[in-house]
Amino acid sequence: MEQIKILLVDDEKEFVETLAERIKLRNHKAEVALDGEEALKLLDDDIPDVVVLDLKMPGIDGMEVLRRIRKAYPKVQVIMLTGHGSEKHEIEAKELGAFEYLQKPIDIESLLKKVKLAYRNKFEKSMVAATFAEAGEFDTAKDILKEKDKKASKRKNRV
């Protein structure tokens, strides 16, 4: 599998830097942002495949960063990773389009498994739609993208 570009956003500096190093050791690219503002600036410069986003941060919190990512970069997959979340937060995150909502602590292999699923989801949807678009079936391609988003949303809401 090719390298996945991952943006890690968390205000716990030691935690997020250690996580980034562990991800890099597994042959993926990892960049770190220590708050929401920095994350949004980094997204403007280089769009990652997957964002792993903390919920509670000073300044712009994770939910607002999620809203902005989904609006400006709809193809970027977002995994919420928090130690302070609730079921209400999980439902809200999934309604906003988070691919997954995970609780800290989480082991690196479990997190990377979810990152890989998010990455694969991003490309499967695009590849199927592209196949129809190449065949001149633009409406079908659009419908596939919309339907896959609806199915993902329904699946995520079955918490």
Q: Where are the domains positioned within the chain?
A: 5-119
Fold of 5-119: Rossmann fold (3.40.50)
Q: Per residue in 106-151, pLDDT tens?
A: 999 999 999 999 998 877 766 666 676 777 777 776 766 665 444 4
pLDDT at 155: 41
pLDDT tens, 38-97? 999 999 999 999 999 999 999 999 999 999 999 999 889 999 999 988 999 999 999 999
The model's pTM = 0.81
Strand residue runs (E) in 10-58 = 29-33, 50-53
Q: From the centroid of its chain, how far is CA 45?
A: 17
What pLDDT score does 157 carry? 46
